[in-house]
Structure 1
Amino acid sequence: MQTSRPVQILKDILATLIVIVFMFPIFWWSLSSIKPYTAIFNKDGPVYFDFQPTLQNYEVTLLGKSRIESNLESGGTSGAGGGSSYDSRETILQSIIVAVGSTILTIVLSTLASYALSRLPMRGKQHFLFWILSQRFMPPIAAVIPIMFMFRDMALLDTLTGLIIAHTLINIPIAVLLLKSFLDDVPKEIDEAAMIDGATRLQTFRRIILPMIKGGVAATAVLCFIVSWTEFLLSLYLTTSIRTLPVKISTFVTSTGTEWGFITALGTSAIVPSFIFILLVQRHLVRGLTLGSLKD
């Protein structure tokens, strides 16, 4: 049944309004990152475009310039805190190491696990899949204290290795389910034909099956990267000297005030990689998230 033109126009208008509602906070967040302090806290009401744009917040957080130096150059004040530096370059590097490391480890383990679940006979496979899915239902706060004590005994507290392992643990369930959905779309006859020709199970997986699902692997990797990139609770409890981006942003809330300019600048910078990666693999990502991952 074809939709009439007035109905289609109404749907388009409604969809546009929904997008505007959801995108406005991101727009306001990004706009605030280039506002001077006086425009962010204007006593006469919100300031939309009537201000002189400044990159001062980005210079402090991304280039390591001290807040006092930046204030002197701009001839004004930047916030309520003291004169300490808000340099986030080391934080960004640590976040990249943790996110990339946990993503690689998750993909390696999940591709092997999902291939076994998709191809090999296993008793109670459906129940096992539901058990994997249930791990995503458990709130992280319920597991963070036991993980902290285990990591303490294994000397993994406040280490990049420990944080990579922790992020891998929270990413594996969704990665296994997503990759299994892609593998289920590849006919098993391809495996059988390859093994009849003399290939081993591992060679079949590495040389034939894996290239066929590379789009799904890329989409899963992006999702795992975003989860690790934005994770806050485990990073807060398992580290002290190491600070990922979400933890670093929380330190901008000081006892004398909140540095909203620096928060919005670092937050805007943090969402850029996520947007780029999502745009690159959005087709595979949407397909993986909407497909029935627990189908036979």
Structure 2
Amino acid sequence: MSSNDWTLLVLLSSSIEQCQSIEFMPLTSTNEYTVYCCCEETVYLCVNILELKTIVNLCYSYLFSKTHQENSQLNVLTRVLLCCITECLTSWNIRRHLVLSKAIEISKELQFVEVLLRLKPKSEQVFRYRRWLLNHEDQDKVHLANEFDLCNQTAEKHFINYASWLHRRWLMEHFKVDIDEELERNYRWLERNISDSSGFSFRAYLISKKTVDMNLIKQELNGNENLLKFYIDRESLWIYRQTLILLALNHVSPDQKRLLFTEEFELEKQFPENFFSKRYFRFLNVLSSSDGKQYRS
């Protein structure tokens, strides 16, 4: 380890702190010098993926040495290392200590985590750390709209991103968000991402938090049917419809169940047959003949 090595890490850390987006891609080095990164103003940082191993090894060498244990030095090391390895629990725990000791401002740390989530939108460790930060932030300083926008971006960037939806569930429960407003936001998101079953799973969670009755089930089934008219071959829509039927079995009367099954079997005449519709109606046949006992939790 040399002074040049430490200077490199400090420069990388400073660039990461200022930029809004990070990417890894091959950059061309020469015999005269090695290219580690390329920074475009203060917006975009490109790190040379061919030198990633060198950067990570440098971070670990300093991190486990006895000479670079001051808060400012640990801040530099863990910031760079987490951009390369977001699942490094040691680095997250060090940063928790730095936050608690006031060496890092929570507001700036939230910005850093947001940059990481653009880089690794499905990282459970990053989301878990963000929830920890929000728990330690003053509630009146938390911008919920920004949190929901971040959830939208990460869910769209990575298909079936349950880490993002789990974070959204936590926001709903921790900040007591209005369920009807969230159902409206969720419907708008699903219209743009109709094949993402994780979004429908989240919607089923929201529905289960309301007072479930036949009116609510019918309303959701009608909305689902409208979407099926345009996207009949999307498995996510049929799975969500199946989930609604199972939800109804636990909350409606026997007469309402019989009426529900009758109306559902009528759909078989309206929609052209495909693999997912055939599977759905087989499911209804089994369910109606057994009263759904084997499907109940």
Task: Provide TM-score, normalisation by structure 2.
Answer: 0.20
Task: Provide TM-score, normalisation by structure 1.
Answer: 0.20
User: Which of the two has higher C-alpha Rg?
Assistant: 2
Q: Which has the higher contact order (CA 8 A, sep 6+)?
A: 1
